[in-house]
Every structure is written in structure tokens, then in C-alpha cells.
Structure 1
Amino acid sequence: MLRALSKYYDCLCRQKDSGLVPDGYSKVGVNYNLVLHSNGTIKEILPYTKAVLNGKKEKEVPRDEFFPFRNSVPGISAETIDHREKYLFGIEWDKKNEKLSATKNSLLAFEKCKEKNLSFLEGLSSPIIDAYKIFLQNWNPENELDNPFLTALGKKYGGAKFIVTSQEDPAAQRPLSREAQVKEKWENDWRNRPIPADAVLGQCSISGKYGQIARIHDNLTGISGGLATGVNIVCLKSPAFWSYGRRESYNSSVSQEIMEKYTKAFNYLTSVPAHKQMLDGMTLLFWAMTAESEKPYLQAFNTGAGFFSLPAEDPSEAERNERQSQEQALASVFSQLSQGKEADWKGFGIDQGTEFYILGVKPNSSRLAIKIFEHNSFGTIMDRIQQHHRDMQLSPADKQMPIWLISKALKSPIASKDPLPPDLSTKILQSILRGSPYPRFMLETAVRRAKTDQDDAAKKFYAVSRDRVRMIKACLTRMDLIKRSEFTMLNTQNTDGAYNCGRLFAVLEMIQQKALPGINTTIKDRFFSSACSTPYLVFPRLMKLSQSHFGKLDRGNAIFFEKIIQEIVSNLGDSFPKAMNMEKQGMFILGYYQQKEKMFETKSEGEKDNEPA
């Protein structure tokens, strides 16, 4: 997993639209633009913000800029091309007295900023570089407490971030941090930065290269339920985990380079909505290993997977129209997949052979628990996802069943204290992505709930619901107990004893309802569970009971039901099954549902949807 993330970081560096922070840089939200005259004096301070939609209203937020890498260290420590007001001007905002103030700390911060930046810029020259150097040399914080440009900011000065530009800059106010000479010198210094004298060297367990081993791994952020400060995957703080004389994360033998790559890639994924989804408390991250744009892969996966809703965003009208157009085009591809045809992805800029990764994590104290890590070619993953949707269908008209809906269908509104396993969603997702049988718990629970739950017509709840039957059918298909494309409709030629017992039970129930209109308790309420488990003990009694019901039917209905019973009994053979295992009970429920659906097919679609199933 760490190798995949570090490799993905290299791909992101080659992508033009990734927005990844380049190596050796930090992204900072900037509030103001400090414009300097060529003589180093302040010309003006301008807002440096952008308008974004917040609901239906626009609000101004800081603009993002890349600065030389920021070190988060305690105490007074200046940065190359510093953006902080205390370091840039040597002045702080006094909240208590609501005025500008030059304190001991702020003066020390300015001196450190002045020393570090003049040293860094030595030998470099351009309009903005020269103006900035003169500014640092001539600026006296204690004499500038009444500076009109700073006092005009008021309390907004406190915590403000600045870029520095020059009126003489021909590149339309290009910030000092983006000046070509500054970038070249910084990147050269970053590449050739010395290894600390106390660094531990060794062979990296991920890349195999010899180099500096990371002692502490950077925090991973953006995980739902995790600590606000971040969590770790590699973390060995306790001496109990130290071995071979190595302390802390030296035991993992992950190089500093690989550590920085995988943590940056992970934090990038959690910060971009299109790469991130939530599934039953688990954070899912996914990415395509390509140097080209990932957008078509992510949109196809988010739209076609059907496991979850699309990322929550507030797109512009143009973006919404583009998404709608893309979804309509994708619909034709998913239609091809649902019919078992090879999908044509070429028009979407998608290479089916591209590696696609899916990582699921959950926080565990200050660490991350890896719940799922799957990768395959994008084409294979999409084929398996569409195979899952086909397996879950009883007819081509059935819509996709998200995993959250599968979990919901397995719960009983009555037995609310019967919780599902916390890892069920993870196991279902793994089955989908691997094309393997679904968790047995899924079949067992669907059958048990169908047998024991009681229908509640007032709440439109039915124990043998279409969703549960779809799950049962899918489980039996993945177990190779029924063939794919079978049982998408009533199969009157099938001779499976359990399936035909289910059909027969549905017919006997319908006969009772026709003979005794408005009856409160049917044979389903009293005998469904036992008929499903031990048909041999129950059906002789039910067949005898049905004879009295036949006498109350009109001649047309009597003949109609008699023919169906004769056809079913001929498929059953000489006797009813004595006892049925879980798989056979699933077949019983499938037969019951499809026979009942067949007998209601003459009703209007609106009536059919409200029928008990």
C-alpha cells in the first residue's frame, strides 16, 4: 500500500490538473498583496482573495499560493520568503488594546526573517528581488506602528498572510515566491539539502534504495472520526515495539523520501472530494495510476459503482451541465456492461488497462486501521462492479442496490436490537471487487429475516421484500447453485424441490386469500418459517387445508389453481423434501416470491408495487 501511494505521488507530479503541492513547497492561503516601490517602500496593500459560493451566497476566501516548504516548529523560526505578518513587518496586533505593537518576539522574528532572506537572496537580482531586499534593509518596525497601510487593515492584520510584488515587475505582479530565480535557487537547495548528522541510514523497505530512514512519519489528515491533528499508519512510539536496537519508526525501515511521498499522496486524496467516499463509517479513497487526467476514471467509478452517492460539492451551472452530459454518456457504457457486452471506454479518455486502487481506512485511536486495499485494472474493476449489479437483478428494470441499501434490507424494523456485524459492508465490497461469493452472513440474515419478520401493510413493510429476494438470488448465483441469467423470472420447468415448494406455498396462500377475503392471518403468518425449513412435516397439512378452501372458490378460479398445483407437484416428484439447509431455504423464498409476483402480474404497476411480497 505504501509503495502504491508513493508511486501515485510520482504520477500526480506528472499530472497537469492534479493541483498537488510540488515537492519542496507548501500551500498557503494568502489574504493580502504587499506591493513595493522599486526603492523598497510600500506602494499599497491590496486584498488577495477570491469569491466562492457558500450555499447560494458568495464569500471571499484567501487565494492559495505555493511557498518554499514551511517547517512547523515551536518558537521563533523564520522561513524563506516568509508570509507571516509578524516576520514580514516585525509588528503584531494587540488584541487587548486593539492596536499595532512591536514586541520583543515580533522584533526577534523580523530580525531572523531579515537575516535568513537576505542571505538566501544574495547574488540574485530582479525588480521584485531588489525591492524586497531594500525593504528588509530599511524597514524599522518600531517606527512603523502608525503606518497608514498597516493601520488600515485594523484587526484583520492579526494572522494575515502576505505575498510580495513590485510595481516594476513586468510579469503583472508576479509574487516574489514565484520569481524564476527564487524558485531555481530554492529547488536546487532543496534537492541538495544535507542529511542531518544524527540521521539513521539504511535500505528502504519500500523502494529498496539506500538512504535516510524516517524516524517519525508525518500525520495523515482528512479521515472521518480521526484526531484533528491527524493519524498515522506507521507509528511505533512504545518501546514494546522496538527491536534490533532500533527506536521508534526506524523499525519500519521506510526512507524519508518514501515517507514524504506516501503521506503527501494520502493527504491529497483525502482533500479532493472526487477521490473520497464514506461507506458505513469507513473512509474510501480511490485513484487511477496514470500521468493523464484522472477525472474520467473518477467520474466513471463514482457514477457506475452505485455504492454511494456522488461527492458532495457545490458546482457551478457549467460544471453541473458537464456532469449531466457525462453521466448520460456513461449510461450507454453501463448498459453495454449490464448486457454482458464489452464496453467502449475510448470516447471518455479511459484506458481499461490503467491500474485502479481502492483503499478503505478507519481510525483507531491515533492510528489508522486498513480495512480494505484492492487494486486491478480499471476495466476489470468496472466489469466486476457491473457483474454485481447483474447478479442483484431479478429483471433488467431493477435499479442498482447501494451497499447501504443492502445493509438496510438486512435489518428488521421490529428486531432493532439485532445489529449487523461492523465489517459487513467491507466484506460485501471485497466480494464485489474480487468477484467472489458474498459473505455467508448476508444469505443467512436475508433468509432469517424473511422467515421471522411479520408483514406490516400499514408501514408498507413486507418480510419477503424484493430487495431481500434479490440478495438471496445474488448469493446463490455466486455460490454456483444457480446459473447466471437464470431465475430472472418464474421458472416453471425447474425441478428443484425447494424452489417448487416455495411456489406451491405461494399458490396455497393465494387460494386461502381468494376463499376467505379480508382474512387477518394467513398460512404465511403461521407456517411460512416451518414450511421453509421442513416441508415434509408441513405441506401434507397445508394441502389438506387447501381442500376446504377450494370448495369456496368459483369454478374458474378452482380450475386455474388446480392446474398450477398439478404442474408444481409434477416437478416435485414423489415426496416433499424432509429438511432444507440455508441455501435450499433461499431457493424456497425465491420460488415463493416469483410465483406470487407472477400471479399479480395482471395488475397495474402501481398496484403491483404496493402488493405484499
Structure 2
Amino acid sequence: MILLALKEYYDRKAAEGLIAQDGWMKGGIDFLIELDYDGNPQNIVDLRDTVGKKKISHPLDVPYIGKQALKHTNSGKDGNLLWDNATFVFGLGDKGDMRLQSMIETIDKWIGKTNDLGVNAVRNFLQNGLEDRSCFNQVLNHPEYGELFKKGSVKVSFRVLRTDYKVVFNSPVVVSVLNKVDSKKDANSVLGTCLVTGEKNVPIEATHPVTKGVWGAQSSGACIVSFNKDAFNSYAKTQSLNAPVSKVIASRYGKALNTLLDSRRQCLHIGDVSMVFWSKKQSSFESDFAFFFKEPEKDNPVAGTEKVKALFESVSTGTYMEDDGDTRFYILGLAPNAARIAIRFWEVGTISEFASRIRQYFDDFAIVKPSKEPKYYSVWSIMVNIATQDKSENIPPNLAGGFMCSILKGNPYPATLMHAVLRRIRSDTKNRVKPIRAALIKAYLNRYYRFYPNQSYQEVTMELDVSQVSVGYQLGRLFAVLEKIQEEANPGINATIRERFYGSACATPVTVFANLLRLKNHHLAKLENKGRVINFERLLGEIMGNLRDFPAHLNLHEQGLFAIGYYHQRQDFFTPKGDS
């Protein structure tokens, strides 16, 4: 299902001319070496583009005749066709001869004998270097580019003077060969039935394409389909013959996945998950999806807010729900796993279904908060604020993927999310219950009891609810009032009861609240504004009227309600009151 959906995405983008055709891949070239017909270097052309202060490869579709186009092995025998990095082009390193010979053999294998002046010039250039490296000195000792070539990482191809094409691999002879490369049957091909399309008697790909761009995976790339141990094989089959996919389909799904991972609009990295998404046909939801979850862009911070606003208005405007609401939408979550890539989640539904679930996610997280807070919280922000020291590298493994799954499926949020946020509140003595953490607890509890109803649970509102029946919520309010009294009695105090007693008050109320109430009398006596004292006494009486005693222990959910009660009461202190 995943490979078929990726193949269909390739077909869609190919029809739009936005993805490399069979035999080609999206890539980039840094330099062109201009040759004469005998293969002698005449000039160097710098194709690199300038982005800010960086030089990047000029984007070009390049020949794709094997996995080495994405990932070279250590053999030195996997040169590309008429382009490669400088290590291969100039035969650098202890395997230099092998690399040059490999590029020559690749030309002979795929092009063979030809009258094409450009192909023959490149073959002469490589053969000359194999016989005498001094013919490369003009390039390798170039005053401006020589050191870059010697480092070996820049991508190099060729142009031949007085030919009609800009790059040798764009010649008609090469293009004709490459258009047939993925379906070509050779002596080593194994024929079989493709599991993706059902097509019979087609060449089967022995090793599936390399995927690049998954955070945490090998920088050279990894595979989502791989059989590299005997224990993974069945019925005496080797490598990917255990999951037969034709060469054409393997190439197409590989290009589609790499294109998605390389896209800024259709790829998100959250925690250890790299998530790509696409629709069966072009849609506005596909373009807007990333804005619902990613951090706001610095140059356009309101863009995400506008997209979420459009999502909430979609019922009345028709956006997402009517115009293309029945269109299939695919979401694939990938995570690193040594030399492989693990499928963390795979969600398929209609645009209207996902739009509804995402809108519910934002509803869940709605809470009263200071004006400086973002209107909507990104998933990345939520994850960071429950990680140790608020650092992204400390986001608990698997948590981001589980959280995204619950959003996309409309299921209860993971229990580990609740554990993580309460643990972070206890450890963060300075900030404790931030708005984003309170919103997370509210979202978790309300969604949990929506799926598992309990008559004793009263839904948490956006702002202070004095009639909330939860003991934990009322205790949180009480703790916030006692802290406020202490702050007003001791202006500029360095540490309040929040720093010293929050953890105990939240988990084992009976151990601390009696002492805190006695301490409160001392603080009230220091207040000069007697009207303020009366207001505090009235508020304390109202809260205490909702309590019978101080429990010895609060369970996990009541500890969450304690945090929300504390947060709501603190926010209420700073909310302007209208005239009565």
C-alpha cells in the first residue's frame, strides 16, 4: 500500500513535469569540465548557485543507472554515467585507478560503441587519466577551484565544445538509453511478478533504492525495504527478491519518497520522526498541512495562524471539506533504525477526515493564556516543553510519533505524554505550569474521558471554573492563592512556596497544606491593605468550601487537574475584572 501510493505520487508529479523521468533523478552539478574531442580539458565552468553566503549545486536531472547515484559503496567500482564526484572523475585516493576504470566501464555497459562526440570525448578524458594522471593537472592545480576538486566532494560533469547540448549526458544518444534503463533486461536480471502493480515477467530490483533525508539515519542514506541477513530471507531467496518489486516501480517510488523528504512544504521533522504527506491529486490541504504543526516562519510568523484560522472556518467556507474533501490523503512517518528506516506510522484517509481531526486537536489545546503566547502551539513546541531542560534533543523517543498518531487518528493522547508533562512540571522549579503545559494536560484529560466516560469527571474549561468538582483542581487553586498571598506579603521574594512545596502539594497534599495554611495567617498579617485581606479570606473560604479534607495521595489525573487549577487561578489573578 505504501509503495503503491508513492508510485502513484510519482505518476502525478511526472505528469506535471516536476519529477525526474525513468532513468534520471533530481540532483545537482557543481562544475562542468569543458573538453575538446580528444578529451583534453579546455575550461572549467562553475555552475553553483549562491544562496546567502553558501554555494550550492545547480539543480539538474542526472543519470540514474544504479544505487550509487545516491550512495557509493566502498568498492570504488560503482561510478556514475558521465557525472560523479571529483573522487571518481579524477581518480583520487588509493582506489583512483579502480574509480576511473569504473566510470569507463559504466559508459561501455550502458552506451557502448557510439558516434556521439561528447560521450567519446568523456571516455577519452577518463582513459587519458588512467594512463597518465598529469593530464588532470590543469584542473587539479587551478588557482580558484583546484583545492575543491582535490577534496573530492564536488559534483562534476562534462561539456564538449561545439556540440548542441549543454551537458554531455543530455545528448540524444544518452537520453535514448536512459529512457529505457529501468526496464532493461540483461543477463543478470531476475524476472518475476511485481508485488506493487501485479505486472508479470518483469525485471525485479535486487536492492531497493536508498532514501535520504530521514533525521538520525545514515547521512549516505538507508532503505525502507532491505534484506541483508540470511535470517530475513525466505524460500532460499536473496536480498529484495523476498519482496519482488520491478526495477521501474522501485525507481519510481524511490524518487517519489526522496522528493517528498527533500520538500520544505511536504516534510516535517518532529522528535525522531520524519513525516511526509501528499494527496491523491493536487489540493490546498496538501500545501497547508505543514503549517498546522511546524514552528512559525521567522519571515512570516502569522502564516501558520492564518492557515489554522482557515481550517476552523472550513465548515462554512468549503475549504478542505467540500472542494476536495473526498480526496485521499496519505501520511507516512519514518524513523531511523541502523541501516534501515522504520515505518513509525502510516495513515490514510480523506482530506475532510484529517481536517476534522486536526481541528479537534486545536480545540483540545485552547486555553486562557497571556497575550504574548502564540495563538496555536506547534507539535515541536509541545514536545520541547515536556523534554528535560526544554531541549529538543531530550524529547523522549517514540513520543512524537505516538502523539502525531493520536492527532491523525483522533484517538486519546498517549499516557506517556501525561507522565512526561507532570514530570517536567515537578523538575522545572522556576516555571512549573507554563501555558503550553496546562493546555497539554487539559487536552489529554478531556480527550481521555471523551473516549472513556466517567460520571465523576467534569470537563476542563478554557479558563477558571469555580464549580469544578475535582479535588485536585480545587487544591491547585488553593495553592495558587496561598502563593499569591505570600508574594504580596513579601514583595521581591526570591523563592515562593511554588519552588519549595509544589511537588509535595501536588502528589501528597496532606503533608504540606496544614503548614501552608498556618503560614498564610502570618503573611496576611503583614498586608497593610485590609480590603485585600478580606478578598483573600473570602476566596480561601470559597475554595475550602469545596474540600472535605486533604487527601493523602492524588492519582495521575488528579495531579494533572491540580496543575490546571493552579494555572487557571494564577491566570485569573492577572485578568482584568469588569465593573460589577
CA distance in 2: counterparts of 1:475 and 1:533, whole angstroms: 19
Q: Label 1:50 to 1:373 Cα distance change in 2 as closer, same or farther (>3 A).
A: same
User: Partner amino acid for 1:364?
Assistant: N
| Alpha-carbon contact 2:76-2:102 (below 8 Å) kept | no
CA distance in 2: counterparts of 1:575 and 1:115, whole angstroms: 85
Q: Where do residues 489-504 of structure 1 align in structure 2 (5 Å cutoff)?
A: 489-504=463-478
Q: Label 1:590 to 1:341 Cα distance change in 2 as closer, same or farther (>3 A).
A: farther
Please give the per-residue CA displacement for 1:428-484, whole angstroms capped at 9, x wherever unaligned.
22222222222222223333443x4474xxxxx222333322222222122137777
2:295 aligned with 1:304: no
2:49 aligned with 1:52: yes
Q: Label 1:468 to 1:117 Cα distance change in 2 as closer, same or farther (>3 A).
A: closer
Q: Label 1:43 to 1:343 Cα distance change in 2 as closer, same or farther (>3 A).
A: farther
Q: CA deviation at 1:507?
A: 2.3
CA distance in 2: counterparts of 1:510 and 1:138, whole angstroms: 84
2:415 aligned with 1:440: yes
The Cα RMSD (Å) is 5.0
Please name the residue that 2:446 is paired with: 477
CA distance in 2: counterparts of 1:592 and 1:111, whole angstroms: 73
| Alpha-carbon contact 1:409-1:467 (below 8 Å) kept | yes
Q: Match of 1:161, SS?
A: strand
User: Partner amino acid for 1:12?
Assistant: K
Please name the residue that 1:458 is paired with: none
Q: Label 1:176 to 1:529 Cα distance change in 2 as closer, same or farther (>3 A).
A: closer
Match for residue 195 of structure 2 among 198, 201, 205: 205
CA distance in 2: counterparts of 1:496 and 1:431, whole angstroms: 26
Q: Label 1:266 to 1:109 Cα distance change in 2 as closer, same or farther (>3 A).
A: closer
CA distance in 2: counterparts of 1:408 and 1:495, whole angstroms: 31
Larger radius of gyration: 1
User: How many residues are paired up?
Assistant: 539
Q: CA deviation at 1:550?
A: 4.7
Please name the residue that 1:467 is paired with: 436
Q: Match of 2:449, SS?
A: coil
Q: CA deviation at 1:190?
A: 4.3
CA distance in 1: counterparts of 2:182 and 2:384, whole angstroms: 53
Please name the residue that 1:410 is paired with: 386
2:563 aligned with 1:567: no
Q: Label 1:426 to 1:165 Cα distance change in 2 as closer, same or farther (>3 A).
A: same
CA distance in 2: counterparts of 1:300 and 1:383, whole angstroms: 14
Please give the per-residue CA displacement for 1:50-97, whole angstroms capped at 9, x wherever unaligned.
45224347x5855635448468597899998x56899xxxxx97999x
2:60 aligned with 1:64: yes
2:20 aligned with 1:29: no
User: Partner amino acid for 1:594?
Assistant: H
Q: Match of 2:50, SS?
A: strand
Q: Match of 1:370, SS?
A: strand
Please name the residue that 1:401 is paired with: 377
CA distance in 1: counterparts of 2:304 and 2:199, whole angstroms: 43
Please name the residue that 2:350 is paired with: 377
CA distance in 2: counterparts of 1:376 and 1:303, whole angstroms: 19
| Alpha-carbon contact 1:84-1:162 (below 8 Å) kept | no
Please name the residue that 1:601 is paired with: 575
Stretch moving more, 546-555 or 265-274: 546-555
User: Partner amino acid for 1:591?
Assistant: G
Q: CA deviation at 1:206?
A: 3.1
| Alpha-carbon contact 2:433-2:567 (below 8 Å) kept | yes
Q: Match of 2:330, SS?
A: strand
Q: CA deviation at 1:599?
A: 2.1
Q: CA deviation at 1:583?
A: 0.8
Q: CA deviation at 1:35?
A: 8.7
Q: Label 1:85 to 1:162 Cα distance change in 2 as closer, same or farther (>3 A).
A: farther
User: Partner amino acid for 2:446?
Assistant: T
Please name the residue that 2:242 is paired with: 251
Match for residue 511 of structure 1 among 485, 493, 497: 485
Runs of 5+ consecutive residues of structure 1 not aligned to the other structure: 87-91, 97-102, 122-128, 313-319, 456-460, 604-613
2:258 aligned with 1:267: yes
Q: Label 1:509 to 1:434 Cα distance change in 2 as closer, same or farther (>3 A).
A: same
Q: CA deviation at 1:231?
A: 1.9
| Alpha-carbon contact 1:503-1:591 (below 8 Å) kept | yes
Q: Label 1:105 to 1:548 Cα distance change in 2 as closer, same or farther (>3 A).
A: closer
Q: Match of 1:594, SS?
A: helix
TM superposition score normalised by structure 2: 0.73
CA distance in 1: counterparts of 2:496 and 2:200, whole angstroms: 76
Q: Where do residues 149-188 of structure 1 align in structure 2 (5 Å cutoff)?
A: 155=141, 161-164=157-160, 166=162, 173=165, 177-178=169-170, 183=175, 187=179
Q: CA deviation at 1:132?
A: 6.3
Please give the per-residue CA displacement for 1:4-37, whole angstroms capped at 9, x wherever unaligned.
3233222222223x2x22102355637448698x
| Alpha-carbon contact 2:76-2:98 (below 8 Å) kept | no
Q: Match of 1:480, SS?
A: helix
CA distance in 2: counterparts of 1:84 and 1:265, whole angstroms: 22
Runs of 5+ consecutive residues of structure 2 not aligned to the other structure: 150-154, 451-456
| Alpha-carbon contact 2:233-2:239 (below 8 Å) kept | yes
Q: Label 1:180 to 1:588 Cα distance change in 2 as closer, same or farther (>3 A).
A: same
| Alpha-carbon contact 2:357-2:409 (below 8 Å) kept | yes
Match for residue 558 of structure 1 among 510, 519, 533: 533
Q: Where do residues 210-221 of structure 1 align in structure 2 (5 Å cutoff)?
A: 210-211=200-201, 212-221=203-212
TM superposition score normalised by structure 1: 0.70
User: Partner amino acid for 1:503?
Assistant: R
| Alpha-carbon contact 2:268-2:274 (below 8 Å) kept | yes
| Alpha-carbon contact 2:24-2:62 (below 8 Å) kept | yes
| Alpha-carbon contact 1:204-1:213 (below 8 Å) kept | yes
Q: Label 1:558 to 1:285 Cα distance change in 2 as closer, same or farther (>3 A).
A: closer
Match for residue 184 of structure 2 among 193, 196, 199: 193
| Alpha-carbon contact 2:33-2:43 (below 8 Å) kept | yes
CA distance in 2: counterparts of 1:111 and 1:528, whole angstroms: 72
CA distance in 1: counterparts of 2:436 and 2:90, whole angstroms: 62
CA distance in 1: counterparts of 2:200 and 2:356, whole angstroms: 41
Match for residue 337 of structure 1 among 300, 306, 311: 311
Q: Match of 1:559, SS?
A: helix
Stretch moving more, 463-472 or 545-554: 545-554
Q: Label 1:75 to 1:367 Cα distance change in 2 as closer, same or farther (>3 A).
A: closer
Please name the residue that 2:152 is paired with: none
Q: CA deviation at 1:271?
A: 3.5
| Alpha-carbon contact 1:14-1:291 (below 8 Å) kept | no
User: Partner amino acid for 1:23?
Assistant: D
Please name the residue that 2:232 is paired with: 241
Please give the per-residue CA displacement for 1:318-365, whole angstroms capped at 9, x wherever unaligned.
xx7xxx5xx767643422435795565489x98444434333333333
Q: Label 1:46 to 1:328 Cα distance change in 2 as closer, same or farther (>3 A).
A: farther
2:428 aligned with 1:428: no
| Alpha-carbon contact 2:63-2:178 (below 8 Å) kept | no
CA distance in 2: counterparts of 1:547 and 1:138, whole angstroms: 95
CA distance in 2: counterparts of 1:105 and 1:515, whole angstroms: 79
CA distance in 2: counterparts of 1:119 and 1:600, whole angstroms: 82
